Structure 1
Amino acid sequence: MAVGFRSFLRVAPGQQLLDTVIEHLGRWLASKEIHLDADRAGQYVLDHDDLVTVLRDRAGGGQLYQWRRQHPDAQPRDVWRTTVTVLEHPDEPGWIWTEIETRDDCTAPGEAPFNRCMSVPSVLRGLLGELETLDGRTDIAPSPQWVTLGHLPDLMDYLADETRRGPVYMISQGQQPREDFERWAREVTWHLVGMGSAFLLDPVVEAGFNEMMGAGHAVPSGTMRTYLPEVNLDNPADPLRHRILGRTRIVATDTRRLARMLGRAERDRAARLPIPADARELVKAYEPKPIPVSWRDQQRLVMELRAENERLREALMARPHLHVAELHQQRTAS
């Protein structure tokens, strides 16, 4: 299977994390007219190709919750499994792990590999509007945030943070009107929600930011720069890691196309990034048994068994009979 979307975020303690997640999942289920309780543990067969599993358990002094929807008959490029896993601690940071898996692509020789920009789950987008979530020390929000001069020291901490998983996107307003710029920034980062943080710079703050960063790490006016984790201002080779989306490309390319391009790039990067060991080991103990053979495969196996039975029946009918009495007489005579 392939990872089509992956987001792992820490959640500040003292919030109603689990209740909020269950509430949002319940709303989503109602909107899809799926009549099951998101808070009730169990396995629910909605159709032969639609299986929902809800897990609840105590884990390490906290509460573990997992909501999973699986499609056993999914074809290549289709969604195979969607999983939302949550750990809530009363006095420690919890986390939300959201993952969508697809069937591995099967392209013909000479075809380009399939590279789909899987949509950000609407449940995750809604949760980020209500919960205080973090990527390392970086605040995560469902839309780009304006930076003030007073925020610059904190922003430098975000950029240098070695515990950050996703990128920080710095977007320069340049000469654009504020409202037009805000709208464009929301659209171009639409597929990055939950996977990184986007910040907006007006000309005054941009000047302060670039002075803090230095020429190599600066954001050119009217552009967008992607800062990967562990920004190192003292390393002359470090600026090469942090790509710039130039003004010429921005003006010449449709915003939705740019958004999909950025979304695909970040999904590819996130898919290669392992989940933190503490979360991975915790969830591993709860991994369900392999799902039974899908309905389509069951039908194929039934047909194969019927064909094999017919072949064996015909072979037995044509097989020479063994006359046991005659064989016994021959052995007695000898």
Structure 2
Amino acid sequence: MAVGFRSFLRAAPGQELLGTVIEHLGRWLASKEIHLDADRPGQYVLDHDDLVTILRDRRGDGQLYQWRRQHPDAQPRDVWRTTISVFERPDEPGWIWTEIETRDDCSALGEAPYNRCMSVPSVLRALLGKLTVVDGRTEMAPTPQWVTGGHLPDLMDFLADETRRGPVYMISQGDQPPEEFERWAREITWHLVGLGTAFLLDRTVEAGFNEMVGSAHYLPAGTMRTYLPEVDLDNPEDPLRHKILGRTRILATDTRRLARMLGRAERDRAARMPIPEDARQLVREYESAPVSWREQQRLLSELQAENDRLREALGTRPHLHVAPRQQQLTAS
């Protein structure tokens, strides 16, 4: 199985983290006309290829919640499993781990590796608008945020943060009108929600930003630059890590195509980044041993054969003669 989408975010304490997640999952289930209680643990068979498992357990002073939807018969390139895991603690940061796995391990000979821009789960997109969550010290948002001059010192802290997992995207307004620019920025970052944070700079703030980071790390006008974690202004080789999406490429590329290109690149990077050990160890205790797709197919075939055998046995066994016995009881 391959990771199609992976997001791991810390949640600030003192908010209704678990309750908000369950509420939004319940709304999503209702919109899909799936009649399940998102807060009720158990395993639910919606269809032969649609299983939902809900887990809830206490760990010390915290609560672990996991919602998982699995499609055992998924074909190559299809979604195999979607999992949202949440850990809430009263006085310490919690976390939200969202992961979509695909079954794309059987590419045809000579075919390029499958690189799909898996959609950001709508539940996660909605949660980022309701909860205070961070990547390292950078607060995450569902849409790009404008930067003011007063925010520049904090922005430098975000860039230099070694605990940050995802990128910070700095997008220069250039000569575009504000509303047009903001709409365009939302579109090209549509597939980056939950994976990175996007900031918008007008000309005035851009000048202050470039003065702060220096000529090697500067943001050219009308471009977008991806700043990976732990920006080091004193390292002459560091600027090579932070790629610039140039103005020529921006003008020559359709907006949706540009959004998918950025989304695929970040999904690939996020899939290779391991989940923090504290979260991985906690969830691992509840994981069953993985079953390969071929083993699933073998077990499915055996179950189908056993089902056919039972149907045949039930269809050919002697029938009970109930009516005559009922007549005897009535007569007596």
Q: TM-score, normalised by structure 2?
A: 0.89
Match of 2:154?
154
Tell me which residue corresponds to 1:278. Answer: 278
Per-residue deviation, residues 300-325 of structure 1 (Å, max 9, x unmatched): 447899xxxxxxxxxxxxxxxxxxxx
Deviation at 1:292, TM superposition (A): 10
Match in the other structure for 2:104: 104
* Partner AA of 2:91 in structure 1: D
Matching of residue 217 in structure 1 with residue 217 in structure 2: yes
The separation in 2 between residues aligned to 1:30 and 1:290, in whole angstroms, is 30
* Runs of at least 5 residues in structure 1 that lack an aligned partner in the other structure: 306-334
- Answer with 1 or 2: which has the greater Rg: 1
CA contact (8 A) 1:188 1:255 kept: yes
1:140 counterpart residue number: 140
Moved more, 248-257 or 282-291: 282-291
Q: CA RMSD in A?
A: 1.7
Residue matched to 1:257: 257
Partner of residue 242, structure 2: 242
User: How far, CA to CA, are the matches of 2:299 and 2:284 in structure 1?
Assistant: 28
Aligned length: 305
Deviation at 1:172, TM superposition (A): 0.1
Cα separation, 2, equivalents of 1:181 and 1:94:
35
Q: Give the aligned partner of residue 64 of structure 2.
A: 64
Q: Percent identity?
A: 79
Matched, 1:191 2:191: yes
Contact 2:76–2:107 (CA under 8 A) maintained in structure 1:
no
* Structure 1 runs, 4 residues or longer, greater than 3 Å off: 288-305
Are the counterparts in 1 of residues 67 and 84 from structure 2 also a CA contact under 8 Å? yes
In the alignment, is the contact (CA less than 8 A) between 2:104 and 2:114 conserved in 1? no
Shift of 1:297: 3.8
1:178 CA displacement: 0.3
Asked if the contact 1:192–1:262 (Cα under 8 Å) also holds between the matched residues in 2, the reply is yes
Q: Aligned with 1:240: secondary structure?
A: helix
Hey, what does 2:174 align to over in structure 1? 174
Q: By how many angstroms is 1:146 displaced?
A: 0.2
Q: Structure 2 CA distance, aligned partners of 1:257 and 1:196?
A: 19
Shift of 1:60: 3.1
Which residue of 2 is the match for residue 164 of structure 1?
164
**What amino acid is aligned across from residue 233 of structure 1 in structure 2?**
L
Question: Could you say which residue in structure 2 is the equivalent of 1:42?
Answer: 42
- Normalising to structure 1: TM-score of the pair? 0.88
Q: Is the 8 A contact 1:172 1:222 kept in 2?
A: yes
- Over 3 Å counting, the alpha-carbon distance change for 1:32 and 1:275 in structure 2 is same
Q: After the TM superposition, which residues 314-333 of structure 1 pair with which residues of structure 2 at under 5 Å, given as runs? A: none
The alpha-carbon deviation at position 185 of structure 1 amounts to 0.1
Query: What is the deviation of 1:108?
Result: 2.1
CA distance in 2, matches of 1:32, 1:41: 19
Cα distance in 2 for residues equivalent to 1:295 and 1:107: 19
Indicate the residue corresponding to 2:30 in structure 1.
30
The letter of the residue matching 1:198 is: A
Residue pair 1:76, 1:102 contacting (<8 A) in 2 also: yes
